[in-house]
Amino acid sequence: MSKNPLNDLGESLGEYLRDQRTAAKLSLRQLSELAGVSNPYLSQIERGLKRPSAEILQQLAKGLEVSAESLYVRAGILDAETAAPPPDSPDVRRAIAQDPLLTARQKKTLLDIYESYVEDDTRR
């Protein structure tokens, strides 16, 4: 078990960000400018030393041209099931996850409430 609880989470998120950045052929400095995140802070995120907020992840997603949802899953803000609803379900989960005006906590709360209603409907 890791002594630093952010290590496991940070390394997978950091590695994923680094992989996405290199696939996009962007330097650390270029991504930091595109995302509006400082170069040293981005470096710390990639090395698993810092855990970014949902807002920072959203900025990075825009800079990398990937879905913020994928970064939220990597960061543990959303679980993979919530982020990828079944194809026949409404886009409520996706709309909540992608709303830039909501904080990560608000998104989780809304998703929990929505899930409780959907679960109630399936029991009837």
Give the phi and the psi of residue 53 in degrees, each rounded to 5. -75, 170
Architecture of the domain defined by 5-123: Orthogonal Bundle (1.10)
Q: What is the pLDDT at residue 59?
A: 93
Q: What is the pLDDT at residue 81?
A: 60
State the average pLDDT over residues 69-94.
Answer: 71
Q: What is the pLDDT at residue 30?
A: 96
Where does residue 109 fall: left (phi above 0), alpha (psi -120 to 50 degrees), or beta otherwise? alpha
Separation of alpha carbons 111 and 96, rounded Å:
7
